Amino acid sequence: GQSLEQPSEVTAVEGAIVQINCTYQTSGFYGLSWYQQHDGGAPTFLSYNALDGLEETGRFSSFLSRSDSYGYLLLQELQMKDSASYFCAVRDRMDSNYQLIWGAGTKLIIKP
């Protein structure tokens, strides 16, 4: 079967650094995406890794190791507005079409 595993909840302090891990087991793999979703809001695209290594975008970085079927999202200099749910999603391919397979999400709680 296809599955993505990520922690259900992570707590961190404002100004700190937090890492959200994601392990996956899918029939195919074309890339790992991360999305942020605030309560009641739409998921917003954060990053995409198709190759191994670290991608940095401002305070957010995302890492991928295809050999380990593992990735993580790193958030630095945490701000209260970063309190949200974070989803990893694998881009897979069925027949000739791409699809996203989603994890259940990690709720990030930030304390002052």
Partner 1 sequence: DAGVTQSPTHLIKTRGQQVTLRCSPKSGHDTVSWYQQALGQGPQFIFQYYEEEERQRGNFPDRFSGHQFPNYSSELNVNALLLGDSALYLCASSLEAAYGYTFGSGTRLTVV
Summarize as ranges the residues that interact with partner 1 (CB under 8 A). 30-31, 33, 41-45, 48, 50, 87, 89, 91, 94-95, 97-105
Nearer to partner 1, 13 or 109 (CB): 109
Q: How far is the CB of 48 from partner 1 (least distance, A)?
A: 5
Across the chain, the runs of DSSP E, i.e. the strands, are: 3-5, 9-13, 18-25, 31-37, 44-49, 53-57, 60-65, 70-75, 84-94, 97-102, 106-111
Q: Are 56 and 49 in contact (CB under 8 A)?
A: no
Whichever of 40 and 112 has its CB closer to partner 1, that residue is 40
Nearer CB in complex with partner 1: 5/61:
5
Which two structure tokens, joined as six digits, stand for 74?
A: 């790193």
CB of 85 to partner 1, least distance (A): 9
Shortest gap between Cβ of 10 and partner 1 (angstroms)? 15
Distance of alpha carbon 48 from alpha carbon 1, whole angstroms: 23
Which is nearer to partner 1, 44 or 79 (by Cβ)? 44
Report, in Å, the least distance between residue 15 CB and partner 1: 28
Strand, coil or helix: what is 29? coil
